[in-house]
Amino acid sequence: MASGKGGVGKSLITANLGLSLARKGKTVIMVDLDLGGSNLHSFIGVKNKHTGIGGYIYKQAENLEECILPTEYPKLFLIPGDSLLPGTANLPFFTKQKIIRELQNSVADIVLLDLGAGSSYNTVDFFLSAWSGLIVTTGEPTSILNAYSFLKTAVFRLMLRSFPAKSSERAMVQEFVGTKIEGGEGSLYDLLDALYAVNPESGLNLKENLKKLVPRVVVNMGRSEMDLQIGKKLRDISRKNIGIEMEYLSFLPYDESARNALIRRSPLIELSPGSEFSRKLDILASNLISRLKGEGPELHDGDVEEL
């Protein structure tokens, strides 16, 4: 669960989506990976006094399984964050890779990652640990632009990490990252053709990976018909400019009760089960179950922290 900016309701959606999926019989682990600003526990009613991601980073736990906490809801579990531990946001690269591997090997039916806002390499790499991550946006222009910017960054990050460190292909991607796709002289398709010319095998593999990458957009806090169209516009822009088939998965309406739910430290669908938000959230959970896919791409390690 990612976004280009904060305040769009990622944690709210993660907590409520996790509960809805659990009620549908799926074993769900929610992971608070908003490094430096974790608060997912507040949305599900778990006190912030347990070892979580920060404790794992500082070797207070040998593996992530030790950090899994039950919630009061059957089949729903939480790995909390540790925003109070200094330096948690500055995650070492290989620690990040280890977290990704352990999460991909989890016995849970579904693992939901509540990621930090923005397009830092930590956030983008966690997003790319699955082929079809969720991008949350609202109808605000800044939120829309930042959601699109996040997707572009994720695409270039995938391209960069598809090639070994210090390879000529990676250097070509790095050189292209600073160029403007929209209206620029060179396009993403030109870059793909150039990469294929340098190394047909790896170029073809990259093209296949880009085809597999199908992000899903969720428009949250919708208030109007105009907001409803936001997801469609993002889908069309991403297809036209960067060749990515984004799926418009859900439109969630604004709900006045959301603030009260957080104050009461309870999921919104628990407090207002008959609301329009709860109904749409339930549909989102059903759609997600029907679209479950495998793990994300295998990517090269190396000196890729500059993006």
Residue 147 has pLDDT above 90, yes or no: yes
Helical H segments across 79-185, by residue range: 93-104, 121-127, 141-160, 168-177
**Of 48-62, 67-81, 124-138, 227-241, the least confident:** 48-62
User: Amino acid identity, residue 278?
Assistant: S
Q: What is the pLDDT of residues 254-274, one digit of tens each?
A: 999 998 899 999 999 999 999
Q: 295: which DSSP letter?
A: B
Residues 160 and 152: beta-carbon distance below 8 Å: no
Residue whose C-alpha is closest to residue 87's, from 117, 55, 123, 61: 55
Tell me, what's the pLDDT at 304? 41
Nearest to 33 by CA among 53, 10, 15: 53
The winner for highest mean pLDDT among 47-51, 162-166, 252-256 is 252-256
Q: Percent of the chain having pLDDT more than 90?
A: 49
Q: Is 156 exposed, middle or buried (0-12, 13-18, 19+ CB in 10 A)?
A: buried
User: Strand, helix or coil at 19?
Assistant: helix
- 255 CB-contact burial (10 Å; exposed 0-12 / middle 13-18 / buried 19+): buried
Supply the DSSP symbol for 250.
Answer: E
Which tens digits make up the pLDDT trace of 228-249?
888 888 989 888 888 888 999 9
Confidence (pLDDT) at 31: 96
pLDDT digits 0-9 by tens, 180-216:
555 555 678 888 889 989 889 888 888 888 989 999 9
Instruction: Assign 45 to helix, strand or coil.
Output: coil
Q: What is the mean pLDDT of residues 67-83?
A: 91
CA distance linking residue 89 with residue 35, whole number of Å: 5
Arithmetic mean of pLDDT over the chain:
87
Confidence of residue 84 (pLDDT cuts 50, 70, 90): low
- Pairing type for strands 247-253 and 76-79 reads unpaired
Q: Which residues contact 171 (CB under 8 A, 6 or more apart)?
A: none
- Residue 306 pLDDT greater than 50, yes or no: no
What does the pLDDT read at residue 179? 67
Q: Put residue 265 in one of left, alpha, beta given phi > 0 → left and psi -120 to 50 → alpha.
A: left
End-to-end distance of the chain based on CA atoms, in angstroms?
Answer: 20
Reading the block at residue 58, the tokens are 């500082």
